[in-house]
Amino acid sequence: MTLLNNDQENVENDSAEEAPRLSLRAAARSGPEPLRAADGLWRKVGHLLRRDVLGIAATTYLVLLLLTTVVGSFVLADSARNTNLHLRFVPPLSTQYGWEYVLGSDALGRSFLAQLTVAARTTLLISIGAVIAAAVVGALIGTVVGYARGRLDKVAMRIADVMLAFPSLLLALIVLYTLGAGLGSLILVLALARIAMYTRVARAETLAVRERVFIRASRAFGAGSLRIVCTQILPVIANPLVALATLEFALVMLAESALSFLGLGVHEPDVTWGGLIAEGRNYLQHAWWIALLPGLAITLTAIATNVLAELVRKAAESE
Amino acid sequence: MPEEPMLRVENLVKHYSINNGMRGRRHGAVLRALDGVSFQVAAGETLGLVGESGCGKSTLAQTLLRLVEPTSGHVYYRGKDVYSMSRKELKDFRKHAQVVFQDPFESLNPRKTIGQIIAEPWTIHRGLVPRAQWRSRAAELLELVGLRRDHIDRHPGQFSGGQRQRIGIARAVAVEPDLLICDEPVSALDVSVQAQILNVIQDIQREFGLGVIFISHDLGVVRHISDKIGVMYLGRMMEYGSESDVFERPRHPYTQALISAVPVSRSERETALPRRILAGDLPSPVNPPSGCRFRTRCWQAEAICAEREPALETHHADERTRVACHFPASSIALSTDLIPGP
Ligand SMILES: Nc1ncnc2c1ncn2[C@@H]1O[C@H](COP(=O)(O)OP(=O)(O)O)[C@@H](O)[C@H]1O
Ligand code: SF4
Ligand SMILES: [Mg+2]
């Protein structure tokens, strides 16, 4: 038997020499699924990307969008605020007034590139914030009730049904009326409307995992339910939830745009793409770009995240 | 009063109600997975439990550890009733009683590293091993079960079944238990690997002086590792005695049938049993035969066997083996009665 007091040095030497041979052997023995379980989700997405032109285009767009937003919100913060009544409604695609006006200007003569970028930051912040909030809360609830089963589970699923059937505009009106408009309440509204989706998916996944032997092993060690949910179940069901969250992003962003368009979104000086469209509606005849460009941004971003979501879903399912 | 053994199981019963859609007509039927089982395990002793698949061995293992609640009966660990333990006492009990599961591909969380898997019990029972020593202690445990220290950062998917079972054993002994329940730990493994894993379990049993309940459907596997043998059939114990008694002088027809199916060299047993091939299928535990449950497949069955259920008891004053049979083979008759094997 290998003893506890094994000579340290020997072991070290041993392993240095044997490492490649042994790891080969281990891989060969583990049969049809070598190393697969250890592969990260994003690494697999990267793998799928290599053979997917649309995926590459979508990812490139999203990376550029993120970069522009992060860099732009520093560089362009001032020009987004600087009004210049001599430069009202400058049409886009000319550098006559400097690179900041390459996408034209708005009714107050502000650089529209700067407006778009600043709006992008708010839009992304709200959408990502709402997606993460909904995912975390929804997944936790779904996993807990899926693991606990019984009455709690039944009640939670009824509530989820009601929440998904509830008109989101009505929900938005209620919440915004009680809490007042603002970044926080907008995120809350958008998250509340989608929590039930994650609850359902997390619950279904949990039901499949809870009977597995390693969960029973945890219980045999004396682990409590909350510990099992957090340390054993959530890591296993994370991938489908990440896939869902990626898919949900576009939906949430569109919902945010709709609310902003209806004037239920953030207020000045904050602005989102949806808010820009609402503003542009007044100038459709002579300044088409004010409504069109943010609309284009919303559409492209929604398509790109959906393409990415499809890849994530494929990667998550290839487990 | 005799000294209290480490583990005492009394008349343990587990019935599952199966009133789901699949058996709509049998609304409210019960499946008698475990129907009154009693035995004891002393510290440092190995009890082998054998029986065909579906006779309730895994149910027994899970009920013992209170991973499922029993229908009735008692399990006493060092005199304390496991089923009336408080939450805190139960947690403490789970530090002392551990389990190795059958399926090594299912019993380790695929998302965790081996180091995390072995350290899991230490995250639950704080103070057992200080956090700073988790890694080195886990590495020691890996060596103890015959793996290498640098396996610690790999994931279960990178190991073979035998290696995973070693990891499962390392995790089970990480809490330094004094009772280890092995539920068919080698049944899912290649025959070539089985002996290695059995050796690991036996080594650990000796090193830590563990009480072991070793479950298998294969008598041959149980034989060399066990001090005592319990033979189960349809949720009941049919024969219960020392390893040598049960193997050399099997008294119950079912035990005889099981042993006759184990290939042995003639030198090992002078008078080999006639080969008994069990006729018929295992009856359903939902509707077990009346009287002796084994009677539908027993070649000695008589009228009384259908009427009265034989109790698990000794049949002579001077023997310790307990047999649940109205007509147990007498220990003397056996060697002359039976024709030597081919
Ligand atoms: N959770 C359960 N619900 C209903 N029936 C079960 C459950 N677990 C086991 N059984 C039944 O109990 C009987 C004994 O099963 P088990 O203990 O797994 O047997 P073994 O481990 O000896 O093969 C089987 O008939 C099985 O179908
Ligand atoms: S009691 Fe009767 S049926 Fe049962 S094993 Fe003994 S002889 Fe066979
Ligand atoms: Mg079993």
Name the band, by pLDDT with cuts 50, 70 and 90, for residue A37. very low
Rounded distance between C-alpha atoms, residue A67 and residue B206, angstroms: 63
pLDDT of A26: 38
The rounded distance, in Å, linking the Cα atoms of B330 and B335 is: 10
Closest C-alpha to A194, from A274, A138, A129? A138
> What values do phi and psi take at B14, rounded to 5?
-135, 115
pLDDT reported for residue B273: 64
Report the pLDDT value the prediction gives residue A90, as an integer from 0 to 100: 79
Query: Using an 8 Å Cβ cutoff, are A3 and B139 in contact?
Result: no
Nearest Cα residue to B237 out of B102, B5, B16, B40: B40
Considering only CB atoms, A236 lies closest to which of B109, B123, B125, namely B109
pLDDT at A25 over 70: no
Mean of the pLDDT values across residues B275-301?
89
Contact A236, A319 (CB under 8 A): no
For the segment A99-107, the average pLDDT, to the nearest whole number, is 80
Residue B45 alpha carbon to ligand 2 centre in Å = 30
Position B339 scores a pLDDT of: 44
Which pLDDT belongs to residue B334?
46
- A253 vs A274: CA distance, rounded Å: 9
- For residue A267, the model assigns a pLDDT of 82
Q: Has residue A18 got a pLDDT over 60?
A: no
Q: What phi, psi does B28 have (nearest 5°)?
A: 85, 15
For residue B127, list chain A residues with Cβ-Cβ distance below 8 A.
none
Euclidean distance between the first and the last CA atom of chain A, given in angstroms as a whole number: 37
Residue A214 to residue B207, Cβ atoms within 8 A: no
Mean pLDDT for B13-24 is: 75
Q: Which residue type occupies A134?
A: A
d(CA B223, CA A58): 63
Residue whose entry in the numeric block shows the structure tokens 């998302």 = B111
Share above pLDDT 90 across residues of chain B, in percent, rounded to a whole number: 77
The predicted-structure confidence for A59-69, as pLDDT tens digits, reads as follows 999 999 999 99
Ligand 2 residue neighbourhood (C-beta within 6 Å):
B 253, 292, 294-295, 298, 300-301, 305, 310, 325-327
Each domain of chain A, given as residue ranges in start order, spans: 39-317
Does the bond joining B104 to the residue before it have cis omega, within 30 degrees of 0?
Answer: no
Q: What is the mean pLDDT of residues A210-218?
A: 94
The answer to whether residue B301 scores a pLDDT higher than 60 is yes
Token pair for residue A69? Answer: 């937003």
Closest protein CA for atom 3 of ligand 2: B295
Check residue A89 and give its pLDDT.
80
> A61 and A300 in contact (C-beta within 8 Å)?
yes
In angstroms, the CA A245 to CA A86 distance is 45
What ligand is nearest to the CA atom of residue B239?
2
ipTM of the complex: 0.86
Q: Report chain B residues whose CB lies below 8 A from the CB of A221.
A: 94, 98, 120-121, 124-125, 175
Distance, in Å, from the CA atom of B116 to the CA atom of B155, rounded to the nearest integer, reads: 10
Query: Between vectors from CA A160 to CA A156 and to CA A161, what angle results, nearest 5°?
Result: 120
Give residue B186's pLDDT: 93
Contact A270, A77 (CB under 8 A): no
Overall average pLDDT of the A284-297 stretch = 89
Highest mean pLDDT out of A26-30, A47-51, A173-177, A232-236: A232-236
Asked if residue B52 has its Cβ within 6 Å of ligand 1, the reply is no
The pTM of the full predicted model, rounded to 2 decimals, is 0.82
Q: Do the beta carbons of residue B183 and residue B101 sit within 8 Å?
A: yes
Question: What average pLDDT does range B6-26 have in this prediction?
Answer: 80
Q: What is the pLDDT confidence band of residue A265, given thresholds at 50, 70 and 90?
A: confident
pLDDT, mean of residues B209-218: 94
User: Exposure pattern of B199-217 as b/e (b: 16+ CB <10 Å)?
Assistant: ebbbbbbeeeebbbbbbbb
Phi and psi at residue B180, in whole multiples of 5°? -125, 125
pLDDT confidence of residue A11:
32
CB contact under 8 A, A218 and B62: no
* Token pair recorded at residue A222: 């004396």
Which residue puts its alpha carbon closest to atom 8 of ligand 1? B59
pLDDT greater than 90 at residue A124: yes
What is the per-residue pLDDT for B158?
93
User: How far does residue B238's CA lie from ligand 2's centre (Å)?
Assistant: 10
Judge whether B9 and B79 are in contact, CB under 8 Å.
Answer: no
Q: CB-based contact (8 Å) between A212 and chain B?
A: yes
Round the average pLDDT of chain B to a whole number and report it. 89
**Cα B54 to ligand 1 centre (Å):** 6
How many other C-beta atoms are found inside a 10 Å radius of the C-beta of residue A177?
11
Length of chain A counted residue by residue: 319
Decide if A214 and B108 are in contact by the 8 Å CB cutoff: yes
Structure tokens at B329: 């083979």
Residue range B167-198, pLDDT digits in tens: 999 999 999 999 999 999 999 999 889 999 99
Give me the pLDDT at residue B331, please.
62
Exposed, middle or buried by CB within 10 Å (0-12, 13-18, 19+), for A31? exposed
Q: How far does the CA of residue B222 sit from the closest CA of chain A (Å)?
A: 20
CA dist., res. A152 & res. A145, Å (int): 6
Q: Is the pLDDT assigned to residue A195 strictly greater than 50?
A: yes
Q: Is A208 part of the contact surface with chain B (CB cutoff 8 Å)?
A: no
Q: What is the CATH number of domain A39-317?
A: 1.10.3720.10
% pLDDT > 70, chain A: 87
Distance from the alpha carbon of residue B275 to the mean position of ligand 1, in angstroms: 29
Q: Does A43 touch chain B (CB under 8 A)?
A: no
Q: What confidence category does residue A100 fall into, taking pLDDT thresholds of 50, 70 and 90?
A: confident
